[in-house]
């Protein structure tokens, strides 16, 4: 998957312009606050219709503008397509090849990108929400409908929690039951997708980790669902089971005013030779595990015959020690994927800078090729 060109209009601090990208490694260098993350965010948004750092669409619109847009020329399995998103206040409109598209379902999945930021490096030790975010973004790459399930689940969860908080106790059981049903159906899908994803990634994570760390480590991943999941049960069975579990907690949930079990509490743990990475490993090892998780997603897509997603690496070089950074870049180069990498200093990128086929300078939102 290759993004040939990107046109941004009134997106964050970026000067409205069109950038031609190389199919190999693209470097973006610039000081803090110049717009490096914003540019990667524009491409990530083009891919997923979501930002990797803000829940609100209007944050993406340039201050003082009414709307923003991103348009990309993409080669997907060798077929050129044009994707365009226009953000008008709260609403977004989509076009494919110049034709307006009604549903996001037709659009999502055409441009696939993985983003990796310093926040993600903290994923192993950080709050469980970071790990769920990783799972959901990764699951989306294998199944575009996953993010819809997550969104529907969250909407139903908020609605159910509002009813539970209704102190007057007037919220009818019938109403509550209907939300529980929706919640159980979406929730069982969400947790099942997450669980299957981790099973898929486990062996890649282990082999990548052995390449970026010194010494041999036996890596395992343990999914820790926020409810009692069956093993190998069908989705219908899981749905019924989740609904039952929620109902059995109803009295307690009413008391606390929120839903106490479900995918909103899903988590996972990486074990190195049986020990929890979260609890025992050094910060360097934890970051290596985060890198391995991210790369395993790309490897799994590529090895199952899929087209490599575009890899967006935002400013991670400054947070990784030299040797791990070099191994990361080595692996990324091996995938043969299109890579967009940002850094405050060219020096931090080591060999990756030598392999780069395009370099850009970003200053005050203006992106300019360096050296022709």
Ligand X SMILES: Nc1ncnc2c1ncn2[C@@H]1O[C@H](COP(=O)(O)OP(=O)(O)O)[C@@H](O)[C@H]1O
For binding to Mg ion (CB under 5 A), which residues are involved?
A: 36-37
The listed partner (ligand X, Mg ion, none) that binds 239, CB under 5 to 8 Å by sort, is none
Least distance to Mg ion from the beta carbon of 91, Å?
A: 27
CB 114 within 8 A of CB 298: yes
Least distance to ligand X from the beta carbon of 166, Å?
A: 37
User: Residue 33 interacts with ligand X (CB under 6 A)?
Assistant: yes
Q: Residues 19, 29, 30, 281: which binds ligand X (CB under 6 A)? A: 30
User: Residue 324 interacts with ligand X (CB under 6 A)?
Assistant: no
Q: How many angstroms separate the CA atoms of 328 and 339, rounded?
A: 12
The interface region with ligand X, picked from 61-69, 185-193, 244-252, 347-355 by CB under 6 A, is 61-69
Q: How far is CA 288 from the centre of its chain?
A: 18
Q: How many residues does the chain have?
A: 372
User: Under rule CB under 6 A, how many of the chain's residues touch ligand X?
Assistant: 14
Q: How many angstroms separate the CA atoms of 1 and 23, rounded?
A: 9
User: Residue 36 interacts with ligand X (CB under 6 A)?
Assistant: yes
Which H or E run includes 84?
strand 79-88
User: Residue 56 interacts with ligand X (CB under 6 A)?
Assistant: no
The listed partner (Mg ion, ligand X, none) that binds 152, CB under 5 to 8 Å by sort, is none
CB 94 within 8 A of CB 85: yes
The interface region with ligand X, picked from 28-36, 131-139, 212-220, 324-332 by CB under 6 A, is 28-36
Q: Which is nearer to ligand X, 61 or 85 (CB)?
A: 61
The interface region with ligand X, picked from 27-35, 125-133, 183-191, 202-210 by CB under 6 A, is 27-35
Going 9 to 10 to 12 to 13, the CA torsion angle's sign is: positive
Reduced to 3 states (helix: H, G, I; strand: E, B; else coil), residue 272 is: strand
User: Residue 369 interacts with ligand X (CB under 6 A)?
Assistant: no
Which H or E run includes 289?
helix 283-303
User: Residue 63 interacts with ligand X (CB under 6 A)?
Assistant: yes
Least distance to ligand X from the beta carbon of 196, Å?
A: 34
Q: Which is nearer to ligand X, 29 or 205 (CB)?
A: 29
Neighbouring C-beta atoms of residue 162, cutoff 10 Å: 13
**Nearest residue to 15 (alpha-carbon basis) of 40, 39, 41:** 39
The listed partner (Mg ion, ligand X, none) that binds 35, CB under 5 to 8 Å by sort, is ligand X
Q: Which is nearer to ligand X, 88 or 247 (CB)?
A: 88
Least distance to ligand X from the beta carbon of 292, Å?
A: 25
Q: Which is nearer to Mg ion, 114 or 164 (CB)?
A: 114
- Strands 339-343, 25-29: pairing is parallel
Distances (CA, A) of 268 to 120, 124, 127, 220, 259: 15, 9, 11, 11, 20
Structure tokens given for 230:
């069956």
Q: How far is CA 360 from the centre of its chain?
A: 25
Residues in touch with ligand X (CB under 6 A): 12-13, 30, 32-38, 59, 61-63
């Amino acid at each position: 998957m290759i993004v040939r060109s990107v046109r941004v209009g009134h997106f964050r601090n970026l000067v409205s312009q069109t950038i031609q990208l190389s199919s190999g490694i693209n470097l973006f260098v610039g000081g803090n606050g110049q717009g490096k993350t914003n540019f990667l965010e524009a491409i990530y948004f083009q891919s997923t219709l979501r930002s990797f750092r803000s829940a609100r669409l209007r944050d993406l619109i340039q201050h003082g503008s009414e709307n923003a847009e991103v348009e990309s020329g993409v080669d997907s399995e060798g077929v050129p397509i044009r994707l365009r998103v226009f953000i008008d206040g709260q609403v977004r409109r989509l076009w494919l090849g110049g034709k307006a598209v009604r549903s996001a379902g037709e659009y999502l999945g055409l441009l696939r990108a993985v983003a990796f930021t310093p926040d993600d490096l903290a994923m192993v030790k950080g709050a469980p929400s970071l790990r769920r975010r990783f799972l959901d973004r990764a699951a989306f790459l294998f199944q575009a409908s996953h993010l819809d399930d997550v969104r529907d689940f969250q909407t139903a969860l908020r609605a159910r929690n509002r009813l539970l908080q209704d102190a007057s106790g007037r919220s009818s059981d019938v109403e509550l039951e209907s939300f529980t049903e929706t919640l159980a159906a979406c929730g069982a899908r969400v947790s099942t997708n997450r669980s299957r994803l981790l099973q898929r990634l486990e062996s890649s994570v282990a082999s990548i980790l052995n390449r970026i760390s010194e010494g041999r480590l036996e890596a395992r991943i343990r999914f820790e669902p926020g409810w009692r999941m069956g093993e190998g049960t069908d989705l219908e069975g899981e749905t019924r089971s989740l609904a039952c579990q929620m109902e059995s907690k109803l009295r307690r949930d009413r008391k606390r005013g929120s839903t106490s079990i479900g995918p909103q509490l899903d988590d996972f743990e990486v074990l190195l030779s049986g020990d929890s990475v979260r609890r025992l490993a050094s910060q360097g090892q934890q970051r290596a595990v985060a890198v391995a998780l991210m790369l395993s997603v790309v490897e799994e897509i590529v090895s199952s015959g899929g087209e490599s997603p575009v890899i967006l690496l935002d400013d991670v070089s400054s947070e990784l020690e030299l040797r791990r950074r070099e191994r990361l870049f080595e692996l990324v180069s091996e995938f043969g994927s299109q890579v967009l990498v940002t850094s405050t200093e060219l020096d931090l990128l080591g060999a990756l800078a030598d392999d780069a086929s395009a370099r850009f300078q970003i200053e005050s939102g203006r992106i300019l090729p360096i050296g022709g």
